[in-house]
Amino acid sequence: MAVLPPDHLPIRSIEFHYGSYCPPNARCLRAQPNEGIVVFRMKGRGPDLWVSVFVDEKGVVHASTFEPFPPGSA
C-alpha cells in the first residue's frame, strides 16, 4: 500500500500472484519462490495498478513503483 500514489482511487480488491507478470497465452520463465506481483483492482474509471515484490535473503520485502495493470495499458 505504501507504494501507491496518495491520490489513488478507492481499492475494490487486491490480488497476489506468484512470479513475474506473464501475459495471457505467453510462455514465461518459471517463477522464483521469493517473487510475485500485487494487483490493486480499483473502483471507478481509473486503471488498475500493480507492483512487483520480492523477499530478500533476510526476509525483507521489496516492492517496485506502481504501474498501470496490465503492463502497456496506459
Contacts of 48 (CB under 8 A, 6+ apart): 39, 40, 41, 42, 68, 69
- pLDDT at position 41, please? 93
In angstroms, the CA 47 to CA 70 distance is: 9
pLDDT at residue 36 in the model: 93
pLDDT classification of 74: cutoffs 50, 70, 90:
low
pLDDT tens figures, 11-55 = 999 999 888 888 888 888 777 789 999 999 999 877 899 999 999
The pTM of this model reads: 0.80
Answer whether residue 73 shows pLDDT above 80.
Answer: no
